[in-house]
Amino acid sequence: MDIKDGVLFGSGSEHPSLKKGREEGVWRGSCHCENVRWTARLENAEHVLCHCATCQKLGGGPYSCNQIIPKEGLVIVSGNENVGEYEYKGASGKFVHCYFCKSCTSHIYHHQDVMPDKIIVRTLLLDGGGSMPATGEIFAEGKLSWVRDLKEELAAGQ
């Protein structure tokens, strides 16, 4: 979301695409330009924060909001031809495949060779994701000191 069209730290400005999309744990998602749309089935509507250096680089923020779900739990509904792939070698030496919108660069999900049956979906891109709680975190050693100040009581990661 562009700074100009939102209210920073104010009451949430509702993006036109933000319609509650909840049917039995199935959430609708879209990239910023809305060329790509998808659905994701979540067992629990919650975020796991990742503080790793790669998420910081790719997203330009202090952490990313994710959930690991079964691969079949994510369905690209439209714009599949607009989904690009970027891959890098993870700490394990195996590849991580990042799938993103080629127009606006929103990252939709990641797929790791070490977890072939699972994908990592970016939960904040799901409609209503802004109201999901953050219930866990990984790579907490990468957490920026001021993020700790923002939310001290969040359970310590592993």
Minimum distance from residue 9 beta carbon to Zn ion (Å)? 24
Q: Which is nearer to Zn ion, 31 or 132 (CB)?
A: 31
Cα(29)–Cα(86) distance, integer angstroms: 20
Could you tell me which of 33, 23, 117 has the C-alpha nearest to residue 70? 117
Among 52, 69, 98, 119, binds Zn ion (CB under 5 A): 52
Strands 74-78 and 64-70, how do they pair?
unpaired
Counting contacts by CB under 5 A, is residue 98 touching Zn ion?
no
* Token pair listed for 76: 């690209």
Counting contacts by CB under 5 A, is residue 147 touching Zn ion?
no
Counting contacts by CB under 5 A, is residue 33 touching Zn ion?
yes
Minimum distance from residue 24 beta carbon to Zn ion (Å)? 27
CA 80 to chain centroid, in Å, comes to 18
Among 27, 29, 31, 123, binds Zn ion (CB under 5 A): 31
Counting contacts by CB under 5 A, is residue 112 touching Zn ion?
no
**Among 11-19, 99-107, 109-117, 123-131, which window interacts with Zn ion (CB under 5 A)?**
99-107
Strands 47-50 and 134-138, how do they pair?
parallel
Minimum distance from residue 7 beta carbon to Zn ion (Å)? 23
**What 3-state DSSP class applies to 123?**
helix
Q: How far is CA 10 from CA 47, 59, 104, in A?
A: 21, 22, 25
- For binding to Zn ion (CB under 5 A), which residues are involved? 31, 33, 35, 50, 52, 55, 101, 103-104
